[in-house]
Amino acid sequence: MISGVPHLTTALKGPLLHLEEHLLKHQTQVETWLREQWLITPAPFYASVDLRNAGFKLAPVDTNLFPAGFNNLNPAFMPLCIQAVQAAVERVCPHARNVLIVAENHTRNLFYLESLETLRQIFEKAGLEARIGSLRDDLTESIRVELPSGKECLLEPLSRVDNRVSLGNFSPCLVLLNNDLSGGRPPILEDLEQQVVPPLSAGWSDRKKSDHFSHYHSVAIEFAEQIGIDPWLVSPLSLQCGEVNFMDRSGGDCLAKNIDNMLALIQKKYDEYDIDMEPFVVVKADSGTYGMGIMTVKNSDEIANLNRKQRSKMASAKEGMTVKNVLVQEGVYTFETLGEEQAVAEPVIYMMDHFVVGGFYRVHTGRDVNENLNAPGMHFEPLAFAQSCITPDKQDEPDAEPNRFYAYGVIARLALLAAARELV
């Protein structure tokens, strides 16, 4: 389904859409500055960024370096994807002809397989032969999976000889990870002579969200200086907690203290901008994805009063890993809603190299404006962006479709730049 933008309501009592207006007014400075940054620090091969739009604040809450969901993008943007992939491949492996896409282990998820097949087709349309390899131990021979769209996805077992991985006789020049390595770095992928992107160090076995948001905070300050805004308008406040064990409650006092400190910092900014909303924080695992190990908190007592089931949920991460470190982050409301039922919507922006190639809204009917919209078991409807994120219209209103999408694209690229610096 493709549509326009959801309705935006906000708690801000001042001039609405100030940020969008400012980005449009300074478009030349924005694009020049970003162009200069990519020359200093090249972008990751691809990424998706979850944003939250509170009207008074537009900020990233998650940056995924192994994105899924390509099947949710507007098919009209396929030419953007093709051109961006060609540019990305030319930069990392100019002579590449063959690409091996390393899949996640949860390949029984048909929506994920739809994304993989869409990604594979992008490479094919860009002029490269692309095939999908799996690290699953139980996959000993190729399987074809019929998808809801009517397409087929061919999954093949990955093998290694010396310092090269292959799928039978298919020996790729380029290995593209679409596996976030939550379960650790697979030995089969270590020390390959083939180019591997993103690098293994980008996986959750090495990466920390606290590092990413530390880099993002620096990027936001630099960017804000360029166009004369408060960096808080585009950056969530973050604090990293030491080791926390939700099961035996060790580290709980430190966590509660950080939550109280964060709530006070948010309240101070709300007072500054005359925002009549209750501050909240998001406590999330410092590594990992899939909305696991995450909760919304408005009072530190909520942590102390967690029951065993809630503590067990917070302690669990993907691939059976245990949460040991957490990030305490400013909660950003989402005031974008859709339809009569006021379904909450959250934009997700996709990039290949440093190019924005599209996005979609996660639209939930069963979630609130302060809740995580990317959680296990949560049903969401993807709503593809009707227009690109790179064609603002200065003659139109700041909140017109192309202009809101442009604002999304700018903030997403700031998160991409933070990820680029993180990987150096």
Euclidean distance between CA atoms 218 and 241, whole angstroms:
19
Q: Please tell me whether residues 296 and 345 are part of one structural domain.
A: no
**pLDDT of 10:** 46
Q: Please tell me whether residues 336 and 387 are part of one structural domain.
A: yes
Euclidean distance between CA atoms 419 and 424, whole angstroms:
9
Which residue among 202, 226, 255 closes a domain? 202
Residue environment code for 310-349, b if the CB has 16+ CB neighbours within 10 A, otherwise e: ebebbbbbbbebebbbbbbbbbbbbbbbbeeeebbbbbbb
**pLDDT of 401:** 82
Whether 247 maps to a domain, the answer reads yes
Q: Is 420 left (phi over 0), alpha (psi -120 to 50) or beta?
A: alpha
Q: Please tell me whether residues 310 and 221 are part of one structural domain.
A: no
Entry field: residues in the chain: 424
Q: Please tell me whether residues 221 and 338 are part of one structural domain.
A: yes
Q: Please tell me whether residues 338 and 218 are part of one structural domain.
A: yes
φ, ψ at 70 (rounded to 5°): -60, -25
Whether 293 maps to a domain, the answer reads yes
Q: Please tell me whether residues 101 and 193 are part of one structural domain.
A: yes
Whether 70 maps to a domain, the answer reads no
Q: Please tell me whether residues 87 and 49 are part of one structural domain.
A: no
| CA dihedral (5, 238, 328, 42) positive or negative | positive
Residue 266's closest CA among 235, 243, 237?
Answer: 237
Find the helix packing angle between 27-40 and 18-25, rounded to 10°: 70
Whether 17 maps to a domain, the answer reads yes
Q: Please tell me whether residues 388 and 406 are part of one structural domain.
A: yes
Q: Please tell me whether residues 382 and 352 are part of one structural domain.
A: yes
Domain holding 57, by residue range, is: 1-65+208-236+332-424
Q: Please tell me whether residues 301 and 286 are part of one structural domain.
A: yes
Which residue among 283, 303, 330 closes a domain? 330
**pLDDT of 97:** 97
Whether 228 maps to a domain, the answer reads yes
Euclidean distance between CA atoms 151 and 115, whole angstroms:
11
Per the structure, the count of domains in the chain is 3
Whether 71 maps to a domain, the answer reads no
Whether 13 maps to a domain, the answer reads yes
Mean pLDDT by 10 residues, the chain (424 residues): 52 59 93 98 98 92 96 92 98 97 90 97 98 95 97 98 97 98 95 98 94 98 97 96 70 83 97 95 80 80 78 65 81 85 86 94 76 57 80 84 88 98 97
Q: Please tell me whether residues 247 and 353 are part of one structural domain.
A: no
**Torsion angle, alpha carbons of 277, 278, 279, 282, to 10:** -110
Euclidean distance between CA atoms 358 and 326, whole angstroms:
31
CATH code for the domain of 282: 3.30.1490
Sole residue written with tokens 């308008």: 233
CATH code for the domain of 184: 3.40.50.11280
Which residue among 303, 330, 357 closes a domain? 330
**pLDDT of 281:** 95
Q: Please tell me whether residues 171 and 257 are part of one structural domain.
A: no
Whether 72 maps to a domain, the answer reads no
